[in-house]
Amino acid sequence: MKKINFILLFFFNLSYINAQKSTFYKDVAPIIYNKCASCHRVGEAGPFPLTSYEDVVKRTSFIKKVVNSGYMPPWKADGHYTAVPFQGNRSLTALEKKTIIDWIDDKMPIGSPNKQTTLILTKYQQGTNYKRKPDAVLSMAKTFQIQGDNKERFIVFKIPYQFDQSQNVEAIEFVSKNRKVIHHANFAIYDVSNNISIDKSPDYINTTVGETDANFSAYEAYKSNMIYYGGWIPGTNYESYPKNIGWVMPKRGVILLTIHYAPTGKDEEDFSSINFFFTKSPIERVIDVINLGSGGIAEEEITPYFMIPADSVRTFKLKITNPEKQSILGVWPHMHLLGKNFKAYAITPQKDTLKLISIPKWDFNWQELYKYQKPLIIPKGSYLIIEGTYDNSKDNPKNLFNPPRNIYGGGEMKSIDEMLTLVILYLPYEEGDEDLPVIEK
């Protein structure tokens, strides 16, 4: 009798375990859709879509490999090195990894569609990652032709605009018809007074090393009154702000959109735009952006002198005093190909350490604005410290020179030079900022 009971119990448990197998719609789709589909969908940077069962099933061997290795989904910041957690962490938990791999090993049962997965997918609208269609789309004058000569290019596009009135901005987003050819993009919005022309000629200039455009000086006239600065790198999303917080876009101005086109072996074309989402709510507090390090504030204070000798691994540091109490909403680190690791932190007047961000394994191909779940408060008089380590040895596979040569840092965007930069998105502190809602609306 005991033997029969044991056998019955065994088969009961086995049937229960089988009934609990993961299915695509119930267990796997929420992970894929939340952490992969923002890039892996039509029109985005991912090389293939992952928005259906069929999309995922035909890539399972690849998915299993990159999930096991941690290569995908990409998330470079150390989640433990931060005083305030980041939003939108795409890295998979141990349970999420196990769920995906077990499902693949179990022959990928599909299950039944459910409301949860449907809602996740419907949040994506064509042409935007934001929750609604943009109020204004400001674009290049025409499609840009990229030569397939395996040469990187830096092109600055001039996008003039004029509204009936100034606009309160609640979100911005870079979009492109061909993201795979773009390494990164930066854009600056300038307020242009009425006595300066904002016509479209010339509509772009070439700042590629060795090809600098003769029209370069024509763009300098716009740079006296920058209102805002933003950017995009693969993996980045739109940028949005808490309620009644944002910035005001002047009714007349120019956007200078700088795009770094990656080397390509065949002719390509690109048409890029910036989506603007406006709000009728008053902007009670204006967000500001500061660029620290090479190409920005306190560049000359990087120590030692920002030059990386051939066949060396060197660490550089920037230390600057915080002039006011600030509520930091997000940080955007930047280095080039020789970058090895990056760290930023603050030392308060009370000698406490506030951790901003650490990227222990720098990846030139994955740089983004990391947004905090709530503001990180930096007291007045704190030291902001940025540290970057660079590998200029022959052992670095990203080194473009063999044998290595001396590499100089500074404000240049060329990949063959280097940068040590931290862009900070912040508000001057006000009482209660510690409890502001998350940036994501």
Q: Could you tell me whether strands 285-286 and 245-249 are parallel, antiparallel, or unpaired per DSSP bridges?
A: parallel
Question: Mean pLDDT, to the nearest integer, of 378-393?
Answer: 97
pLDDT tens digits for range 111-139: 888 776 666 666 666 678 888 899 999 99
Domain end among 265, 285, 305:
285
pLDDT at position 217 is: 64
Query: Mean pLDDT lowest for which of 38-47, 213-222, 315-324?
Result: 213-222
Residue 16 has pLDDT above 70, yes or no: no
200, 239: one domain: yes
Distance CA 111, CA 114 (A): 9
424, 303: one domain: yes
Q: Could you tell me whether strands 313-321 and 239-240 are parallel, antiparallel, or unpaired per DSSP bridges?
A: unpaired
Question: Mean pLDDT, to the nearest integer, of 196-217?
Answer: 73
List phi, psi (to 5°) of 412: -70, 145
Residue 3 has pLDDT above 60, yes or no: no
pLDDT tens digits for range 267-313: 999 999 999 999 999 999 999 888 899 878 888 899 999 999 999 99
Q: 105: which residues sit within 8 A by CB, 6+ positions away? A: none
Domain annotation covers residue 266? yes
Confidence of residue 406 (pLDDT cuts 50, 70, 90): very high
pLDDT tens digits for range 320-364: 999 999 999 999 999 988 999 999 999 999 999 999 999 999 998
pLDDT tens digits for range 65-80: 999 988 888 899 998 9
117, 200: one domain: no
Q: Which residue has better confidence, 237 or 52?
A: 52
In one-letter notation, the amino acid at residue 393 is S
Domain annotation covers residue 305? yes
| Mean pLDDT, the chain, whole residue set | 86
Residue 155 has pLDDT above 60, yes or no: yes
Q: What is the DSSP letter of 281?
A: S
Q: Residue 65 is part of which domain span?
A: 2-122
Residue 17 has pLDDT above 60, yes or no: no
219, 326: one domain: no
Q: Which residue has better confidence, 239 or 343?
A: 343
Domain annotation covers residue 25? yes
CB 319 within 8 A of CB 398: no
335, 238: one domain: no
